[in-house]
């Protein structure tokens, strides 16, 4: 038996081929009974519709190109999973690429993805190479920049303010009675959202204490290991600190292990707060205070926005602020 | 200015449109100088080649459909990233879906992906729904099942033996002088590779000690929280244990935090080993012993296998065992 054709489905379902085609193209436009008959015939034959032909006819494929810095980072993995969960039932597939925080790699991916005539493009953040901007400006498909709210948006941005995250972290440490508080980060030249969290934190310290704030950043990528390193160096330079904001939870976990090794008590000697609300923070000893970004919520909001746009091309240019949540636990 | 056409590139590069087409279709077949001229013209115009048209002509698109259980799990995220890193320079893009360990969801994704006429399909594990098998058997594209080595392979399998992982974990605990050792797992009915690790562990205990081995599994998904829960329950039922193998590192980390809360010393009172070599294990206090799977190596091997197959359709049906590595640290 060869590959099943649309005519086989039509015959089994007892309808015309054009009716099968309509049921496949726009399932909402046919009756439940007809849809059920067509689906049963598809199931029986193992028929696979050719989306490529449909894509050429419509001059767009039902793909959405998504570029994130990394998937080995549950922040973005959760966003991508949620986006796929919401879009797949509507017949849209994600083409996913990871840029490794490199604008050049993002440009190469964007160029490659555009050659597939996607229905939409989703990028992370609002900072891109000039070549990426050149390719995206003026395209007649929805472009969403996520995880950040930018002034210079290409089209729609969906995310939250990382400066406000930094401000809230400083405020929280002050409220816990800490006075010599520091920022600890890693590779923030590459990760501009981490850079913004730092700026917000330093602004809040300057505004409250009228003195130059403490900050230490190492060039290596954020990880548990990097957290131990940046915290050790920070303590050597500033043994007087009584609180710290870590640019993400992986760094904070590394610092907490470093404290356990040195016999430093958390939060008694040093209060800690991070960013990300990663899996382990709620169960560590002590449990880690953090700021929770809307990881899944961003993916769902991007998907919902795109589904709206596919039906109403006049929408667009929105700024959707999903906010974030302070999660105080035992470490602060 | 409208969208750049291939004729614009040809004019700028001073060559014919068919030469541009050839340089795009098969970059290795033209001279370095010609490729450089064409690329410069593409760069200047922001031209985006239409891969869809190329896909229909070749009746396959240069996409690879990849289905993993989850991306919020750095095991599979690392594999997918490595696969993309290797395939993208060759003009292949990944279409990525997550099944959430559900065979039904995997079937829906496989069906959907096949409608894009992918060049290859990559699935996780060798256990699939009947509908998935029906759709994949007899397809004339490479099918790779990864992360597991199966007897009932559809085509090629690339991974390692999870039973051997379990056996090696038991052996390691015996060598450290432990005699009452237990398996701790989560949701292994869904995760058949975790189930195989358990079987290997229990086999090794039975063979060495001639007694029924200890095992406790909870139905919730593996996480740091689940690790605290399964370990607490295990200690209530079997307070005599002096060693444990955790089905993955997230569970072991949760158990280690539970020990810190209860004042149980690791490894003195209980030796621990996990699976996965996740980021935090090398930096925790104590540092966690584990078994390291070839996460990135699997992605690279799958990509290399596919690139070989795209050039030589006679290859296929291989079993590629990448092995794994015991990483003893302070917890055992």
pLDDT in tens, B260-291: 999 999 999 999 999 999 989 999 999 999 99
- Adjacent-strand bridge partners of B181: B243
Closest of A149, A101, A159, A155 to residue A129, by C-alpha: A101
Backbone angles phi, psi at B314, to 5 degrees: -80, -20
What per-residue confidence (pLDDT) applies to A147? 97
Which segment of A46-50, A299-303, B12-16 scores lowest on mean pLDDT? A46-50
A279 inside 8 A of chain B by CB: yes
Nearest CA in chain A to B46: A135
What per-residue confidence (pLDDT) applies to B79? 96
**Between residues B73 and B236, the one the model is more confident about:** B236
| Domain assignment of residue A84, yes or no | yes
What per-residue confidence (pLDDT) applies to B189? 86
Share of chain A above pLDDT 90, in %: 65
- Does one domain contain both A31 and A150? no
A27 inside 8 A of chain B by CB: no
Q: Are A63 and B63 in contact (CB under 8 A)?
A: no
- Does one domain contain both A40 and A144? no
For residue B57, the surrounding DSSP H or E stretch is: helix B51-58
Nearest CA in chain B to A113: B93
Average pLDDT over residues B108-112: 89
- Does one domain contain both A169 and A258? yes
| Domain assignment of residue A330, yes or no | no
What per-residue confidence (pLDDT) applies to A53? 56
- Does one domain contain both B249 and B282? yes
Alpha carbons A187 and A181: distance in angstroms, whole number: 20
User: For residue range A67-93, what is the model confidence (pLDDT) as tens digits?
Assistant: 999 988 788 999 999 999 999 889 898
Average pLDDT over residues B74-101: 91
Interchain CB distance below 8 Å, A46 and B134: yes
Angle A133-A134-A136 (CA atoms, 0-180°, nearest 5)? Answer: 60
Average pLDDT over residues A272-285: 94
Instruction: Pick the residue of A279, A296, A329 with the most B CBs within 10 A to test the interface with B by mutation.
Output: A279
- Chain B positions touching A260 (Cβ under 8 A) are 285
User: For residue range A286-330, what is the model confidence (pLDDT) as tens digits?
Assistant: 999 999 999 999 999 999 999 999 988 777 889 999 999 999 999
**Total tally of structural domains belonging to chain A:** 3
| Domain assignment of residue B330, yes or no | no
Question: At residue B193, does pLDDT exceed 80?
Answer: yes
- Does one domain contain both A68 and A151? yes
How many Å lie between the alpha carbon of A209 and the closest alpha carbon of chain B? Answer: 35
B109 inside 8 A of chain A by CB: yes
What per-residue confidence (pLDDT) applies to A84? 93
Confidence of residue A251 (pLDDT cuts 50, 70, 90): very high
| Domain assignment of residue B332, yes or no | no
Look up the pTM and report it.
Answer: 0.83
State the first-to-last Cα distance of chain A, in angstroms, to the nearest integer.
Answer: 67
B264 inside 8 A of chain A by CB: no
Q: Is the dihedral of CA A62, A68, A72, A78 positive or negative?
A: negative
Average pLDDT over residues B58-82: 86
Q: For chain B, percent helix, then strand, then coil, each to nearest 5? A: 50, 15, 35
**The sheet that has B325-327: what strands, in order across it?**
B214-218, B181-186, B243-246, B271-275, B289-292, B325-327
Full domain range(s) for residue B38 = 6-45
Where does residue B22 rank: exposed (0-12), middle (13-18), buried (19+ CB within 10 A)? middle
Alpha carbons B221 and A163: distance in angstroms, whole number: 34
Question: At residue A52, does pLDDT exceed 70?
Answer: no
- Does one domain contain both B128 and B69? yes
What per-residue confidence (pLDDT) applies to A3? 59
Place of tokens 């060049």: B119
Question: At residue B3, does pLDDT exceed 70?
Answer: no
| Domain assignment of residue A214, yes or no | yes
- Does one domain contain both B257 and B215? yes
What the block records as the tokens of B318 is 């291989």
| Domain assignment of residue A332, yes or no | no
What per-residue confidence (pLDDT) applies to A49? 63
| Domain assignment of residue A262, yes or no | yes
Average pLDDT over residues A92-99: 90
Interchain CB distance below 8 Å, B93 and A95: yes
Question: At residue A57, does pLDDT exceed 50?
Answer: no
- Does one domain contain both A195 and A261? yes
| Domain assignment of residue A1, yes or no | no
Place of tokens 């295990």: B234
How many Å lie between the alpha carbon of B101 and the closest alpha carbon of chain A? Answer: 13
B40 inside 8 A of chain A by CB: no
**The sheet that has A243-246: what strands, in order across it?**
A214-218, A181-186, A243-246, A271-275, A289-292, A325-327
B117 inside 8 A of chain A by CB: yes
- Does one domain contain both B208 and B150? no
- Chain A positions touching B280 (Cβ under 8 A) are 224, 250, 253-254, 257, 280
CATH number of the domain that A176 lies in?
A: 3.40.50.2300
Interchain CB distance below 8 Å, B260 and A115: no
CB contact burial A201-213 (16+ within 10 A = b; e otherwise):
bbebbeeeeeeeb
Question: At residue A98, does pLDDT exceed 70?
Answer: yes
User: For residue range B196-233, what is the model confidence (pLDDT) as tens digits?
Assistant: 999 999 999 999 988 889 999 999 999 999 999 999 99
- Does one domain contain both B172 and B281? yes
Average pLDDT over residues A134-154: 90
Interchain CB distance below 8 Å, B95 and A63: yes
Q: Which residues contact B6 (CB under 8 A, 6 or more apart)?
A: B17, B20, B21, B47, B49
Confidence of residue B259 (pLDDT cuts 50, 70, 90): very high
Confidence of residue A61 (pLDDT cuts 50, 70, 90): confident
Question: Three-class SS of residue B90?
Answer: helix
- Chain A positions touching B113 (Cβ under 8 A) are 93
**Between residues A131 and A315, the one the model is more confident about:** A131
B51 inside 8 A of chain A by CB: yes
- Does one domain contain both A214 and A275? yes
- Does one domain contain both B200 and B148? no
Residues 62-101 of B with CB under 8 A from A: 63, 70-74, 77-78, 80-81, 84, 88, 91, 93-98
Nearest CA in chain B to A68: B81
Tell me how many residue pairs between chain A and chain B have CB atoms under 8 A apart. 156
User: For residue range A163-177, what is the model confidence (pLDDT) as tens digits?
Assistant: 999 999 999 999 999
ipTM over 0.90: no
Question: At residue A275, does pLDDT exceed 60?
Answer: yes
Q: Put residue B137 in one of left, alpha, beta given phi > 0 → left and psi -120 to 50 → alpha.
A: beta
Question: At residue A139, does pLDDT exceed 90?
Answer: no
Question: At residue B57, does pLDDT exceed 50?
Answer: no
What per-residue confidence (pLDDT) applies to A15? 86
């Amino acid at each position: 038996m060869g590959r099943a054709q649309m005519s086989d489905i039509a015959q089994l379902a007892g309808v015309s081929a054009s009716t099968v085609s309509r049921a496949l193209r726009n399932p909402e436009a046919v009756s439940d009974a007809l849809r059920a008959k067509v689906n049963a015939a598809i199931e029986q034959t193992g028929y696979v519709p050719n989306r490529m032909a449909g894509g050429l006819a419509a001059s767009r494929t039902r793909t959405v190109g998504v570029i994130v810095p990394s998937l080995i980072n549950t922040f973005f993995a959760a966003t991508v999973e949620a986006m796929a969960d919401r879009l797949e039932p509507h017949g849209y597939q994600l083409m996913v690429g990871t840029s490794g925080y490199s604008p050049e790699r993002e440009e190469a991916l964007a160029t490659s993805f555009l050659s597939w005539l996607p229905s939409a493009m989703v990028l992370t953040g609002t900072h891109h190479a000039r070549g990426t901007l050149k390719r995206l400006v003026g395209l007649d498909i929805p472009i969403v920049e996520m995880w950040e709210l930018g002034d210079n948006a290409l089209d729609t941005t969906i995310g939250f303010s990382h400066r406000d995250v930094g401000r809230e972290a400083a405020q929280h440490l002050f409220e816990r009675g800490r006075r010599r508080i520091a920022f600890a980060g890693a590779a923030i030249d590459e990760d501009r959202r981490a850079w913004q969290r730092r700026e917000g934190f330093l602004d809040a310290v300057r505004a409250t204490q009228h003195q130059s704030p403490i900050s230490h950043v190492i060039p290596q990528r954020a990880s548990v290991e990097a957290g131990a390193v940046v915290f050790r160096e920070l303590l050597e330079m500033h043994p007087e600190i009584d609180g710290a904001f870590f640019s993400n939870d992986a760094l904070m976990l590394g610092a907490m292990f470093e404290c356990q090794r040195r016999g430093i008590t958390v939060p008694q000697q040093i209060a800690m707060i991070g960013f990300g609300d990663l899996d382990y923070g709620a169960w560590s000893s002590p449990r880690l205070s953090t700021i929770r970004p809307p990881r899944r919520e961003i993916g769902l909001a991007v998907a919902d926005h795109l589904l709206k746009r596919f039906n109403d091309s006049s929408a667009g240019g929105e700024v959707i602020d999903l906010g974030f949540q302070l999660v105080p636990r035992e470490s602060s």
